[in-house]
Chains A and B, each alone.
Chain A
Amino acid sequence: MKDLESKLKALRLRPPSRNLDDRVLAQKRERPVAASYAVRRVPIWLTAAVALVMALAGFATGAAWRGEQPSSAEHHRSAPVMVHVIYNSPSSGNPFDFTHASDVFPAGKLETKTHIEKGA
């Protein structure tokens, strides 16, 4: 077997043509440049670290801008109280007229007294 192998190895092989090198290696130079833009050159951990540092710097700058003064915001303002008096209203004689209030009270506490007449 070794003898046959060495005889086979001694045979002359057909060479490729001379222009094969040009044909093959020209493709290396023709590689599209645009493909390199798709490659991420900055590692993801560095991107995340920079984002974190920027966020902390933003919060620190905001705190320094506001100073030590507490800030407050008014979220709710009490609405005026609208009351409709059904019977014996001073402004309307019609007890079934619900289109407007009989009386409007400013915002705040409204104390009511109910007087029930016997026999009414």
Chain B
Amino acid sequence: MHRLNGALERIYRDYRQQMFTCALAITRCPDRAEDAIQEAFGRLFRLGRKPRHLKAYVFRSVRNAALDQVRRNPPPVNGIDEFIFDPGAGPREAAATSEFERRVAEALLTLSDDERETIVQHIYGNLKFREIARVRERPLGTVAGWYHRGLRKLRTRLEE
């Protein structure tokens, strides 16, 4: 039991940012994304035995908690201000980067939920397609299809 909690803590510390980004892509609200992570780990720390694929299990728990948050409070229609990118435009940050972030965020929000979530999980969550398939409980081919289709749409929209 202590070993499992130790492994969960390691996963939390190693993938804290990635889990937060994935949850934020669903909730589009930082506070609710954090609530989802807290809620998920509250359940995970009470697990009786270690699941087979612990990392995927943790990400799935966080995702499910984020989806519960969205069911309770639907996200804003255009939640670009609280999307996954850092809005802290300090003096060092170039205006061009900030503009590109805004365009990427807008383009991501036009994709389907599956495509957007898969792109976020793969690029920002550092999850392999096999891991995303476990998290989402979908076949590998479906996940890869979502990703490549979404990325093509994203490129088209960014070039417009």
Contacts and interface: CB of A to CB of B under 8 A. Distances in A.
B12 to A, nearest CB: 6
Main secondary structure of the interface of A (DSSP, over half): helix
A4 interface: yes
Contacts, number: 82
Contacts of B151: 1, 4-5
A16 B30 contact: yes
B66 to A, nearest CB: 13
Given A9-B123, A31-B45, A36-B1, A16 B20 contact: yes
Interface in B38-61: 38, 41-42, 45-46
Contacts of A23: 34, 38
Main secondary structure of the interface of B (DSSP, over half): helix
A27 B42 contact: yes
Interface in B86-145: 86-87, 93, 97, 100-101, 104, 119, 123-124
Interface string A5-36: 10111011111110011011101100100011
A29 B36 CA distance: 19
A8 to B, nearest CB: 5
B146 interface: no
Nearest to B6: A28
Interface in A46-72: none
B17 interface: yes
B21 A31 contact: no
Interface in B59-90: 83-87
Contact of A4 (B1, B86, B158): B158
A31 B5 contact: yes
A44 interface: no
Given A1-B155, A28-B45, 14 more contacts: A4-B151, A8-B123, A11-B104, A12-B93, A12-B97, A14-B84, A14-B85, A16-B20, A24-B41, A25-B9, A27-B41, A31-B5, A31-B45, A36-B1
Interface of A: 1, 4-5, 7-9, 11-17, 20-21, 23-25, 27-28, 31, 35-36, 39
6 contacts: A12-B86, A13-B17, A15-B17, A24-B41, A28-B9, A39-B1
